[in-house]
Amino acid sequence: MEVSESTHICPMCPEVRNAGPGVCPSCGMALEPETVTLEEEQGNPELEDMSRRFLVALVLTVPVFVIAMGGMVTGFHEFMPREWSRWLEFMFSTPVVLWAGWPFFVRGWQSVQSRHLNMFTLIALGTGVAYLYSVIAVLFPQWFPGSFRGRDGHVDLYFEASAVIITLVLMGQVLELRARGRTGEAIKSLLNLAPKTARRLTPCGHERDVPLDQLKTGDTLRVRPGEKIPVDGVILEGASNIDESMMSGEPLPVSRSPGDEVIGATVNGTGSLLIEARKVGADTLLAHIVQMVAQAQRSRAPVQKLVDRVAGYFVPAVVLASVVTFVAWATLGPAPAMAYAMINAVAVLIIACPCALGLATPMSIMVASGRGAQAGVLFRNAEAIEALRDTDTVILDKTGTLTEGRPAVENVRALGAHTESDVLLLAASVEKASEHPLAEALVAAADRAGVVAGQVTDFKSHTGKGVSGTVRGIEVVAGNPAMLEAIGLTSGQFGADVGSEMSRGHTVVYVVAGGQPAGVIAISDPLRPSSHAAVRALNEEGMRVVMLTGDSESTAQAVARQLGIDEVIAEVLPEEKADRVRRLQGEGRRVAMAGDGINDAPALATADVGIAMGTGTDVAIESAGVTLMGGDPEGIVRAIRLSRETMRNIRQNLFFAFAYNGIGVPLAAGVLFPWFGILLSPMIAAAAMSFSSVSVISNALRLNRVRL
């Protein structure tokens, strides 16, 4: 599968979008494809262009540097007359500045036109001044007064400074573009999961290999043993064990047979399958995952707002600092004062790097989103990453989150004149119209027992309580204690052994026929294998863990004891779950809510961070900021750890960027010269500036190695 998108976006300014490649009018950086593709032949035109310019600049800059440094060696000008060396520097440096460095001047001019001064404004201004000064000094040396001349009476040239600066900045751009390219590796690894072709059956029964983008909903596809399933669909013929670990995280293959749904990019086992394509192209689960990761990578964290405000004043402040530096050296500096003034003013312009500041947050977010996808954790946006870092309370829904969400009937007890079959028939008849997981368990148990459910009329679903209807002329009610209370009955009327079922963690469904107790059905929902480890890890992370469920207090407490959860909120109606979240928030808690059902959606949306189990409903997933692909509760721990590491990484990047500029600009201005006689060469400033952005990106890439 290939996801192709022509829209290009700026990594620093995600609001900037363009129909094709170009540069950002705000920061001057090259735009990137909004969605990563597998089209390797397309390459990276920006990287190729910058690499070519860098190689040419490097070849021409070396002789310029050698000549300039040679002039400082005694006797050099006896070997090469000064006039020759000055013209050679001019000849070699001109292509470097005017061709290799031309993109920087274009972007610098664009920044002035758009009134968004940026890194390229400073580079163009600094190198342009140094180069133009040197050209005038070569062509019209008589124009310069004594304050511009050295002890030998000549005007110093700075061709080597402008050429070396351009070369170093180009090298930094090449390294930066390569590093930025690595941030899309996570998405590429997801895209690589899908096969490139599918084997489609023609109307006459022939099999033909076709590209995935030619498939349509309803196509019949053949999947041979060991092949990847091309799209989301349903099995028409055949049975096999399918490796779904790329989606669920479960290492063991799962058995699939006719009528079962299959997911694209999962691996077929030993059986041959015929499947009907149900979701193709951008509608597949894999495509949705890729899109979610891409959106998260381009989103902006709340902390970025502060950075944006600082960056807005950064370049004007640097230009002002450069002017102040020039004036101070021109009036107070030693001879030749004007030469010192110019070179230090240029150094101030060159060393400042707003790019490092701008990249500090988005690069970390991009890498973290990709790393999360590899670990089965999908962040909807950067805000979810930042909010999860501050979370101190985790609310866990029981059914489908801590349990597998596949309840099964464990025991049926009939009362009065009713038999177990009667109880199953009555319960299955009213429950078959319900979409609740318990209803599915009851209907399935009736089918296994050979009990045929009857027709139901006057069906009503009582949210959070149960269902009712008329079966064979008898009014039937099936539900929990809240349902019994609504019709004037109590659980005590159903026998003393009900409590023992609850103490084992079973959910009890009370069946009432004609207003009288008819029976009790005990339903179990096995705990997920990783639930114990997840709760233990959350406690170790310092989280307050709360289990929230609509189940009875006795059943909830039994499950909580098994998992080591101390705080339980039971017998909560769906509409009350969001209120419980708000109560905890009112205590000053930062709340994450994990759930999987439609009834969890309001609470997921209310929480500071909603965490949806990927095995749950679409409504729950759409309401959450984080989705756990395999439905594994340990994914909650992985998400929290990743969010903390990401925000720590962002703080490191911001500290480096602020510290670099806070120290670099004064050094370039020459604050150490009065005491130590130390000046920062513009060439060293250029090297430091180039590597500052690379350092920020390299630090962000460390998130790929975070252990979750």
Active site residue ranges: 397
- Distance separating alpha carbons of residues 375 and 129, to the nearest angstrom: 50
Asked if 63 and 70 touch (Cβ cutoff 8 Å), the reply is no
267-268 vs 591-595, strand pairing mode: unpaired
- Distance separating alpha carbons of residues 361 and 290, to the nearest angstrom: 21
In DSSP terms, 568 is beta-bridged to 547
In DSSP terms, 274 is beta-bridged to 222, 237
**Residue type (1 letter), 534:** A
In DSSP terms, 57 is beta-bridged to none
557-588 exposure pattern, b = at least 16 Cβ within 10 A, e = fewer: bbbbeebebeebbbbbebebbbebbeebeeee
Which residues, in sequence order, are CB contacts of 686 under 8 Å at separation 6+? Answer: 164, 165, 168, 169, 350, 351
Asked if 531 and 500 touch (Cβ cutoff 8 Å), the reply is no
Asked if 200 and 221 touch (Cβ cutoff 8 Å), the reply is yes
Q: What share of the chain is helix, strand, coil (3-state, %, to 5)?
A: 55, 15, 30
Asked if 373 and 522 touch (Cβ cutoff 8 Å), the reply is no
In DSSP terms, 396 is beta-bridged to 547, 594
Q: Cα angle vertex 502, ends 498, 503, to 5°? A: 115
Burial grade of 541 (CB within 10 A; 0-12, 13-18, 19 or more)? middle
**Residue type (1 letter), 701:** L
- Distance separating alpha carbons of residues 653 and 644, to the nearest angstrom: 14
- Distance separating alpha carbons of residues 24 and 700, to the nearest angstrom: 22
Helix (H) or strand (E) holding 662: helix 634-669
Say which DSSP state 527 is in. B
Helix (H) or strand (E) holding 211: strand 207-211
Asked if 516 and 542 touch (Cβ cutoff 8 Å), the reply is no
- Our measurement of the distance from residue 614's CA atom to the centroid of its chain's CA atoms, rounded to an integer in Å, reads 16
User: In angstroms, what is the C-alpha Rg of the chain?
Assistant: 35
DSSP string, 308-354: HHHHHHHHHHHHHHHHHHHHHHHHHSPSSHHHHHHHHHHHHHHH--H
- Distance separating alpha carbons of residues 533 and 292, to the nearest angstrom: 28
- Distance separating alpha carbons of residues 104 and 120, to the nearest angstrom: 6
User: In Å, what is the CA distance from 554 to each residue of 223, 407, 550, 571?
Assistant: 48, 17, 11, 10
